[in-house]
Amino acid sequence: MSDVDRIIHEPARLQIVALLSGAKEADFLFLQRETQLTKGNLSSHLMKLEEAAYVEVEKTFRGKIPLTLVRLTEKGRTAFQDYRKTMNGLLR
Amino acid sequence: MNEIVGRPARHWMEDGSVELAFGIQAVLTGAVFLIGQISAPDSTFSKVYSFLAAGLWGCVIFGSQWAIKRLKERLVAPRAGYVVLPEAKWRFSSGRTLLWITPVGAVVFFLFLTFMFQIPIDNFRRSPWVVGFGCALVFAVISIWSAVYYKMPRYFLLALWSACFAVWIYGRGSDSLGPLMMLMVWIGFGYAAIGAWRLVEFLRANPRFEQSGE
């Protein structure tokens, strides 16, 4: 169990990383809708993932509306793949 | 886990705008080429139209791409968020992919040869409807696969719609009108109708986020 990545292992963050692994990038609203987390909760988990350099957060505008785009970094993608391998190995 | 990873792809399809745009594109494409086939072969209209058709078709393709982007930006993104899907990566090493691609590819390639080069099989040359019939069946199979893979039951309706065309063209038999173009129009109507119905349902179920009180 010591091999398990604790940053990804937390259920909400695992869901965020799994969602982002199926997309090139996604906005905050999509992640909030799919994870059913509150804005504050989602922000806090994204911050932790950003600190670990697993995601990149870009704040921009669509017209006059603020838009927060989130994408998985190469490090994050690799970490997620490794996590899946580790978990598959443990559950086998 | 795979279910969660697949959600962005399903999100792209869930509002019906993809089907709506593809349907309109297919109807217009079929119509553009059917007009060319209906017009008298040596008339001035036919000669001018043969030059115009390719341009019109290009406008239909690019126009529908533009329309789908605008529709997503203006209607879908403020309600359900915005997702960009990664570029498709074909995994030819995957046995499951090959299992699907090989038979479908073989049928499509065979129908392409039959249609484009009129390969010397007398029965096929005398029966152009077979091309439309075969393509309709391929469409039906692809629709069933999409319904299962993307978990979208409405694609079963599209499979049924394609199968109806196969039955109809089988009953109609030989026809001088391009069966592929008729299939395009038929399938296009099916896709556009289902896409529009789904889009209306989606817009009703998902009010604009800033108006939802959250």
Interface of B with A in 40-69 (CB under 8 A): none
Residue B192: phi and psi, rounded to 5, are -65, -40
Specify the pTM.
0.67
Classify residue A57: in a domain, yes or no. yes
Residues on chain A touching B86 (C-beta within 8 angstroms) = 22-24
> Which of B178, B204, B208 shows the shortest CA–CA distance to B74?
B208
CA distance B39 to B20: 29
pLDDT for the residue A57: 93
Please indicate if any CB of chain A lies within 8 Å of the CB of B149: no
pLDDT for the residue B211: 40
Contact B15, B198 (CB under 8 A): yes
CA distance A17 to A12: 9
Classify residue B53: in a domain, yes or no. yes
pLDDT band at B212; cut points 50, 70, 90: very low
Contact B136, B163 (CB under 8 A): yes
CA distance B87 to B179: 33
Locate B55 and state its tokens. 């341009």
What total number of domains does chain B contain?
Answer: 1
Classify residue B214: in a domain, yes or no. no
Alpha helices in B118-153 (DSSP H): 122-126, 129-149
Tell me which residue in A24, A33, A34 faces B85 most closely, judged by beta carbons: A24
Residues on chain B touching A67 (C-beta within 8 angstroms) = 82
Classify residue B71: in a domain, yes or no. yes
Domain that holds residue A45: 6-87
Classify residue A83: in a domain, yes or no. yes
Question: Are B87 and A24 within 8 A, CB to CB?
Answer: yes
Classify residue B42: in a domain, yes or no. yes
Classify residue B213: in a domain, yes or no. no
Please indicate if any CB of chain B lies within 8 Å of the CB of A27: yes
pLDDT for the residue A42: 94
pLDDT 10s digits, B119-141: 555 555 556 677 778 888 888 89
pLDDT band at B154; cut points 50, 70, 90: confident
Could you tell me the CATH number of the domain that includes residue A23? 1.10.10.10
Residues on chain B touching A28 (C-beta within 8 angstroms) = 81
Alpha helices in A10-67 (DSSP H): 11-21, 28-35, 39-51
Domain that holds residue B78: 2-86+95-208
Q: What is the DSSP letter of B152?
A: -
Asked whether the predicted pLDDT for residue A31 surpasses 90, the reply is yes
Q: What is the ipTM of this complex?
A: 0.84
What total number of domains does chain A contain?
Answer: 1
Classify residue A66: in a domain, yes or no. yes
Classify residue B54: in a domain, yes or no. yes
Please indicate if any CB of chain B lies within 8 Å of the CB of A33: yes
Residue in chain B closest to A26 (alpha carbons) equals B83
Classify residue A92: in a domain, yes or no. no
How long is chain B? 214
Residue B213: phi and psi, rounded to 5, are 90, 5
Residue in chain B closest to A18 (alpha carbons) equals B5
